[in-house]
Amino acid sequence: MAIINAPLAGLQALSKGYRVAIIHDWLVVSGGAEKVLDALLQAFPHAEVFTTVYAMPQEERGRLAEHVVHTSWLQRLPRIRDHYRYYLPVMPKVMARFDLSRFDLVISSSHAVAKGVVTHSGQRHLCYCHTPMRYAWEMRDDYLRDARYPAPLSWCAERMLERLRRWDAATAAGVDHFVANSANVAGRIRRYYRRESSVIHPPVDLDAFPFDPSPRDDFYLAASRLVPYKRLDIVVEAFRDMPNKRLRVVGDGPERGRLEALAAGAENIEILGYQPRDVLRRLMTQARGFVFAADEDFGIMPLEAQAVGTPVLALGRGGALETVLGPEHGDAATGLFFADQCADSLRAGLDAFETLAIDPQACRRQAERFSTEQFWSRWQSLLTSSLS
């Protein structure tokens, strides 16, 4: 007999009488935001999806293949999958051109431009905010530094980011209710948009990351998209100077070449590139610990590691403070924080981490607090109050 998921069934029943549009910035790679989208698509099985670019590999599309997906004119440009970020300056106008007039409920899943869609007074616009646009706000200087534009282009980029910041703040008024993915992001919404928000954490697929109490191997795992702000460079630097500790890095992206150069000659470090989810899950299950050096909005991978029973060594900032429990929690501890975003601090953290005895069951219990069922249940409560 099929098991009925009560929160999901309740949410689907609640939304049944509404025509729903889900707006997503772009669909190019499968990351944390796309996992949230997948859970929303289960909850709203008749929803139509709107996005600037849909260039996700076929094997990563999952439930998207079951939904109508509307794209913008950017979709027709050559090699858009490789160059979509260069079109960020025009994306606000692209979003504004989507015609959503036939929908009752608009849900934007936004970390950049999705919340800027135009709605009218007869609609409800709920924004699930992964973060206010990081390029325009707190990562502005990092973006300009990493881009290394020559002088004339750097001036143009600064002006572009200023315009995006003004647009981002102004379009917050078009959202009826903000939902933040963490208390960390709720603080940014309050600071930048002057708006309050509900907090609904992203869901962890506990079935995809089953608990495994088997003895661990002697390597550490780091995994993410290989982009500058994830700071995999300090992880590689730390392990390069500790040849007695092994590191495996999973992921792909523009930082891969630099990380491989940093790891050159270090026999204890393996840069594995992109790996399918079953391989990633196996590595998480085998690893002694999961290393997370990003100042992240939320960060789903530390919870996936905890779901299989693997403790986490994380930077003590951002979303990790909401997902990892340090030694002060006693038997409920699931990891340890290092203080500063640098290799020296991470090395000291590793030494302290190896003195801890963390219960894998405690890691699993912590991950269960962020289950997909909890995500759907909180959405059901939100819609009950928002649509009544």
* CATH number of the domain that residue 99 is part of: 3.40.50
In total, how many domains does the chain have?
2
pLDDT of 131 reads 95
Q: Which residues of the chain have pLDDT under 50?
A: 1-3
DSSP secondary structure string for all residues of 326-345: -GGGGGG--EEEESSSSHHH
281 and 357, same domain (yes or no): yes
Q: Tell me, yes or no, whether 293 lies in a domain.
A: yes
**Structure-derived torsion over alpha carbons of residues 198, 335, 305, 380, reported in degrees to the nearest 10:** -20
Together in a domain, 41 and 63 = yes
* Same-domain check for residues 361 and 241: yes
User: Within this chain, do residues 100 and 59 fall inside the same structural domain, yes or no?
Assistant: yes
Q: Are residues 357 and 382 in the same domain?
A: no
Report the CATH number that the domain containing residue 241 is assigned in CATH: 3.40.50.2000
| CA–CA–CA angle 71, 73, 77 (5° rounding) | 110
Q: Is residue 89 part of a domain?
A: yes
210 domain residue, yes or no: no
Residue 1 belongs to a domain: no
Q: Each residue of 55-73: pLDDT tens digit? A: 998 888 888 989 999 999 9
Examine residue 76 and state whether it is found in any structural domain, yes or no.
yes
Same domain? For 230 and 268 the reply is: yes
Same-domain check for residues 16 and 120 = yes
State whether 260 and 378 are in the same domain. no
Residues 189, 232, single domain; the answer is no
231 and 197 within one domain: no
Q: Examine residue 305 and state whether it is found in any structural domain, yes or no.
A: yes
Tally of helices (H runs) and strands (E runs) in the chain: 15, 13
Cα separation of 251 and 270, whole Å?
Answer: 11
Model pLDDT, residue 139 = 65
| Cα–Cα distance measured from residue 227 to residue 318, given in angstroms and rounded to the nearest whole number | 17
Asked if 171 and 253 sit in the same domain, the reply is: no
What token pair was written down for 330?
């006693």
pLDDT score recorded for residue 30: 84
pLDDT at 58: 85
* 351 and 378 housed in the same domain: no
Which pLDDT value is given to residue 73? 97
pLDDT tens digit string along 212-262?
A: 999 999 999 999 999 888 999 999 999 999 999 999 999 998 899 999 999
Structural domain that includes position 42: 6-203+371-386
Residue 371's pLDDT is what?
A: 96
In a domain, 212, yes or no: no
**Cα distance between residue 256 and residue 272, in whole Å:** 10
pLDDT at 148: 58
Question: Does the residue 211 lie in any domain?
Answer: no
Q: Does residue 323 contact residue 303 with C-beta atoms inside 8 Å?
A: yes
Whole-structure pTM value: 0.89
169: closest CA among 188, 152, 144, 142?
A: 188
